[in-house]
Structure 1
Amino acid sequence: MSVSNKRLIISVGLGILLNPLNSSMVSVAIARLQDVYRLDFTGISWIISSFYIASAIAQPIMGRASDLFGRRKIFITGLVVAFIASLLAPLSPNFGWLIAFRIVQSFGTSMMVAVGMAIVRIYITEKQATALSVLSIFLSGAAALGPFIGGVLIHWWDWHAIFLINIPFVLASFLLAWRTIPKDESPTSVTRNMSFRKWLDWIDASGILLFTVGLVSLLVGLMSAESTGHVSLRYVIVGLVGLVTLGAFVRHELKAGAPFLPLRSFAKYPAMTWVNVQFMLVNALFYSLFFGLPSYLQMVRQVSEFHTGLLMLSLGLCSLAASPLAGRWIDHSGPRPALLLSGMLMTLGSIWIVTWNQTSPVISVCVTLALFGISNGLNSVGMQAALFQISPKEIIGVASGLFNTSRYLGTILSSLLIGIVMRGTFSFEGFRYLGIILTVFALSLVFMNRRSVRQDHGRSGRSSILKRPE
């Protein structure tokens, strides 16, 4: 691989890592931010939900916008937006402003993720698989090491550092991207002459608005009711508005010519739908632990941010170590056995949480993190392989987009779940109850994959239930 291609990969990698890094570092900062802004746990959990809602909306929009404005422009603009948000977030006068800058940061980092892979695919023709695998390492490594990095930064400085740490990454990526990413080709006559109104139709602005209003309203209704401890008419109305709006969103997407979320694919390909449902459940389970455990350590066990980050490192390292081993196993045996084992490990880890008390040894925490880390490594490869096997070739791009949406919906669900269970105050009893719910989720995944494995064995030895439709 040439030196210029290596520089291109590094420039893109330094940009795309900002999204998973910022989504994971905050897991260790929740307790500190709750203390600074004097909010209950349900309120502070919006620092998680807002980032993932914005990412779920921004990435498909920016993927389409890159066809009109150019991938290089979108990538570099994303760096500028991320730089501004990271610089201003530490200056937030209140929590509302912090959420606003967090959303802006999510949009900026999502712009880079949306086009980063495409830039490498287009401009690197030799050893393309190697190049894409390097980008995957940037993404998975940032997500795995985020809690540790966040813990170190907060311990030695303060929560402001988890935003300021982005600046050197942004500057390095900008300098390299400006010199290494080729200039965009001129847009086609179709996109060049597109009016603003047509562009809004092209990105399905109506669908995006309905999705955003519906999801946020439903979350506000559910989380606010739980944080106050009673159900008021105002919160019931807000929640109902969310449900009705989401219903209107589904109806709109089924009729739209270029839908924001191609829901018709779910009806046409039920096997693909089932994989996405499982993936959403997997992410809801994993991120409930990912965001819940640091709060348990800091608020219940009074563990420092530094040691919390150090403990969370075991989850990330186990996940990184399990991924390549999972790849070899799945190449040989298919995805279902690996997914079945993953469900068993998550079940064991969730049951282990239920057995904890307030003085359980640290080794118990490490065992749980290792179990979930290994299961995450198996899932990250296995779910993707399952999706590719059952998705028709002609809609693989659509399938990948829906797959990422399922990931974000799972993470949003995890934030909602933690907020509802804790009822405004993070407690040991609430965390144990969360462990019971996670056990039910994990057992459901075991049942789903065990049934699929049995069906696979019922066919010929070499065939699979997950054959790709022609």
Structure 2
Amino acid sequence: MSIHSRWLMISVGLGILLNPLNSSMVSVAIPSLQNVFQLDFTGVSWIIFSFYIASAIAQPVMGKASDLFGRRKIFLTGLVVAFIASLLAPLSPTFGWLIVFRIVQAIGTSMMVAVGMAIVRIHITEKQATALSVLSIFLSGAAAIGPFIGGVIIHWWGWPAIFFVNIPFVVVSFLLSWRNIPEDEPSTSVAVGMSLRKWFDLIDLSGILLFTVGLVALLLGLLSAKSGHISLGNVIVGLIGLALLGVFVRHELKATSPFIPLRTFAKYPAMTWVNVEFMLVNVLYYSLFFGLPSYLQMVRHVSEFQTGILMLTLGLCSLVTSPLAGRWIDKSGPGPALLVSAILMTLGSVWLVILNQTSPVISVCLALATFGISNGLNNVGMQAALFQSSPKEIIGVASGLFNTSRYLGTILSSLLISIVMGGKFNFEGFQVLGIILTVIALTLVFMSRRRRESRQLHES
């Protein structure tokens, strides 16, 4: 691999890591934000909801936008947007403004993720698989060590530092990208003579609006159940959201360029079940990822610094397991690895249920290690299962749907925590969360066994 190719990978890698880094650092900041802005736990959860909803929408849209304006321009623009958001978010006078800048940050970082892999795939021709695997390390590594970085910098400099820490990455990535990412021509078949209306049709603006407004309204309605006091207004908002999502489904089935190609799910049921399983995996994993730091800080009164160090167990186990899982899956297929992962998640969930307010810290570390190993198996295993179940001619669409399933899982995990905990994170709610996660994990065990048996029957 040439020196230029290596610098190109570093340029892109420093940009794409910002999305997973910022989505994970906030897990340690939730108690601090709750105290600063005087919010209940449900209210502060919108710092998570907003980021994932914006990312889920922005990434496919920006992927299409790169055909119009060029991938280099989208990547560099994303860095500028992320810089502005990271600079202004710590200055937010209210939590509402913080959410606005958080959404802008999600859009900016999603612009880089949407085109980063494509830039490397197009401009690095030698050892391409190695290059893409290195970028995957940037993505998974940033997500893994995010809570540790967040815990350390919040301990010393407070919650605004989780935004300011992005600035060095953005500046270095921008300077390197300006120098190393080649100019690319936008697709002439898409760009030449395209009206604004055709551009809106291409990105399915109507579908995006229906999905966004419907999902936010439904979340607002569901979150009214946090304490059992459900008002008529919240019920109406929730029903409006549900109705809009119904209209969204109908619209997507008719759209020529749908935001989420739902017909693909109906046409390939095996791929659909992989996406459902992946969504449940993310519900379980991110419920722990966002729930455990709050448990440590609010129930066990552990500092942000110590919480970050403990959460490092989760990330390191995941990083170490992923390459080993790759070798195992190359030999045996994804089935055995995913079954073991589901069993480990079940054991980890049960472990959470039996934790008490005086359990030794080593017990928390063992639970985190269990989930970390299972996440490492899932990172590779679910991707391999997707490739097995998806025809080659739609692998691009399948990958997009796969990412959508990931984001829906993370959104549902935040919703689950908010409903279970209500206004205040407490030990009893944490135990209820553990029971729910155990049920989800057992469901994953059942699904993994069924898919493995179905695969064996098909091969015989």
Task: Give the alignment's TM-score, normalised by structure 1.
Answer: 0.97
Query: Matches of 1:298 and 1:376 in 2, distance apart?
Result: 23
Query: Matches of 1:259 and 1:453 in 2, distance apart?
Result: 32
Query: Matches of 1:272 and 1:17 in 2, distance apart?
Result: 28
Q: CA deviation at 1:229?
A: 3.5
1:308 corresponds in structure 2 to 307
Closer, same or farther in 2 for the Cα pair 1:189/1:372, shift >3 Å? closer
Q: CA deviation at 1:450?
A: 1.3
Q: Is the 8 Å Cα contact of residues 294 and 425 (structure 2) preserved in structure 1?
A: yes
Query: Matches of 1:341 and 1:116 in 2, distance apart?
Result: 32
2:56 aligned partner, one-letter code: A
SS of residue paired to 1:287: helix
Query: Matches of 1:409 and 1:21 in 2, distance apart?
Result: 18
Question: Please, which runs of 5 or more residues in structure 2 have no aligned partner?
Answer: none
2:359 aligned partner, one-letter code: S
1:330 aligned partner, one-letter code: I
2:14 corresponds in structure 1 to 14
Q: Map of 1:234-273 to 2, 5 A cutoff? A: 234-273=233-272
1:199 aligned partner, one-letter code: W
Query: Matches of 1:399 and 1:116 in 2, distance apart?
Result: 18
Q: CA deviation at 1:292?
A: 0.0
Query: Matches of 2:25 and 2:455 in 1, distance apart?
Result: 40
Q: Map of 1:346-385 to 2, 5 A cutoff? A: 346-385=345-384
Q: Is the 8 Å Cα contact of residues 67 and 186 (structure 2) preserved in structure 1?
A: no
SS of residue paired to 1:435: helix
Query: Matches of 1:226 and 1:80 in 2, distance apart?
Result: 39
Q: Deviations over 1:157-181 (max 9, x none)?
A: 1000000000000000000000100
2:129 aligned partner, one-letter code: A
Q: Is the 8 Å Cα contact of residues 226 and 420 (structure 2) preserved in structure 1?
A: no
Q: Map of 1:319-334 to 2, 5 A cutoff? A: 319-334=318-333
Q: CA deviation at 1:455?
A: 2.9
Q: Deviations over 1:373-408 (max 9, x none)?
A: 000000010000000011011100000000000000
- Give the superposed CA RMSD: 0.9
1:195 corresponds in structure 2 to 195
Q: CA deviation at 1:452?
A: 2.1
Q: Does 1:89 align with 2:85?
A: no
Query: Matches of 1:452 and 1:24 in 2, distance apart?
Result: 31
1:467 corresponds in structure 2 to none
Query: Matches of 1:300 and 1:93 in 2, distance apart?
Result: 29
1:268 aligned partner, one-letter code: K
Query: Matches of 1:111 and 1:457 in 2, distance apart?
Result: 41
Q: Deviations over 1:324-355 (max 9, x none)?
A: 11101111111011000000000000001111
1:102 aligned partner, one-letter code: R
Q: Is the 8 Å Cα contact of residues 18 and 109 (structure 1) preserved in structure 2?
A: yes
1:161 corresponds in structure 2 to 161
Q: CA deviation at 1:426?
A: 0.3
Query: Matches of 1:226 and 1:305 in 2, distance apart?
Result: 30
2:278 corresponds in structure 1 to 279
Q: Is the 8 Å Cα contact of residues 71 and 119 (structure 1) preserved in structure 2?
A: yes
Closer, same or farther in 2 for the Cα pair 1:251/1:11, shift >3 Å? same
SS of residue paired to 1:125: coil
Query: Matches of 1:163 and 1:309 in 2, distance apart?
Result: 16
Q: Is the 8 Å Cα contact of residues 229 and 423 (structure 1) preserved in structure 2?
A: no
Q: Is the 8 Å Cα contact of residues 40 and 227 (structure 1) preserved in structure 2?
A: no
Question: Please, which runs of 5 or more residues in structure 1 have no aligned partner?
Answer: 464-470
1:351 aligned partner, one-letter code: V
Q: Is the 8 Å Cα contact of residues 207 and 252 (structure 2) preserved in structure 1?
A: yes
Q: CA deviation at 1:264?
A: 0.2
Query: Matches of 1:187 and 1:350 in 2, distance apart?
Result: 48
Q: Deviations over 1:92-151 (max 9, x none)?
A: 000000000000000000000000000000001011111101100100000000000000
Query: Matches of 2:290 and 2:20 in 1, distance apart?
Result: 14
Q: Does 1:24 align with 2:24?
A: yes
Q: Is the 8 Å Cα contact of residues 226 and 424 (structure 1) preserved in structure 2?
A: no
1:110 aligned partner, one-letter code: S
Query: Matches of 1:115 and 1:456 in 2, distance apart?
Result: 34
1:52 corresponds in structure 2 to 52
Query: Matches of 2:381 and 2:321 in 1, distance apart?
Result: 11
Q: CA deviation at 1:276?
A: 0.3
2:323 aligned partner, one-letter code: P
Query: Matches of 1:268 and 1:452 in 2, distance apart?
Result: 18
Query: Matches of 2:449 and 2:397 in 1, distance apart?
Result: 28
2:204 corresponds in structure 1 to 204
Q: Deviations over 1:229-258 (max 9, x none)?
A: 311100000000010000000000000000
2:221 corresponds in structure 1 to 221
Query: Matches of 2:176 and 2:455 in 1, distance apart?
Result: 48
Q: Is the 8 Å Cα contact of residues 207 and 249 (structure 1) preserved in structure 2?
A: yes
Query: Matches of 2:244 and 2:408 in 1, distance apart?
Result: 17
Q: Is the 8 Å Cα contact of residues 50 and 103 (structure 1) preserved in structure 2?
A: yes
Task: Give the alignment's TM-score, normalised by structure 2.
Answer: 0.99
SS of residue paired to 2:260: coil
Query: Between the two proteins, what is the percent identity of the paired residues?
Result: 78
2:434 corresponds in structure 1 to 435
Q: Deviations over 1:153-208 (max 9, x none)?
A: 00011000000000000000000000100112154154121011110011000000
1:76 corresponds in structure 2 to 76
Query: Matches of 1:418 and 1:431 in 2, distance apart?
Result: 9
Q: CA deviation at 1:228?
A: 5.0
Q: CA deviation at 1:458?
A: 3.5
2:122 corresponds in structure 1 to 122
Q: Map of 1:291-306 to 2, 5 A cutoff? A: 291-306=290-305
